[in-house]
Amino acid sequence: MPRRASAATLALIVAATVVAMSGCGDDRRVVAVTREAADRQAAQNVELARVARAAASGANDLVAADAASRRDAVTLQTLIQAERAELNAARDDLDQERQRVAADRTSAASRTHVVQGLGVLFVAVLALALAWLVLARGVQGDDLAWDVVIDHLVANQADVPRLETAPRRPTPDPQSLSPTEPPA
């Protein structure tokens, strides 16, 4: 194998020498074509670098816009959470106010019942006091009880017309009356 490789190497060297000798006259033309190819390659490299810079700049702008968008989203989310917290606090305040109003209504109703009960109790005590007053002075007839009631009503209500009362007749002492004798 090493012999074959040296023969192939030798054939290549001979072919390169033949090509080099045959092309010595066109050396200027080859140099010009090579220069044009190198210039085109350089222009393509410059354009490729410009496109790469533009792509990098666009990528940087995109990353910056994405970061700004995320910051704005976080800010909006924070504002929404703050507004939600305010609404929850307002709802809680409203619920507490509703409960306070309900408690006030309940206590007002209780107070109304208590006042009504006290009013009924007061009227009952007045009636008992009036009855006791009449009984304590001694019953001297139905006219005395009616006179006390009428005097009391007239004293409390000045606009009620006063009825003329008949002169009082003397009432006999109940102890002096005998069971057979009718009262006069």
Percent of the chain with pLDDT strictly greater than 70: 64
d(CA 85, CA 145): 73
pLDDT digits (tens, 9 = 90+) for 72-84: 999 999 999 999 9
pLDDT digits (tens, 9 = 90+) for 125-180: 998 888 888 777 665 556 666 677 777 776 665 554 555 555 555 665 656 655 55
State the CB neighbour count (10 A cutoff) for residue 140.
15
Residue boundaries of the structural domains of the chain: 109-156
How many CA within 13 A on the CB side of residue 47? 6
Scored b (16 or more CB within 10 A) or e, 51-62 reads eeeeeeeeeeee
Which secondary-structure segment (H or E) carries 165?
Answer: none
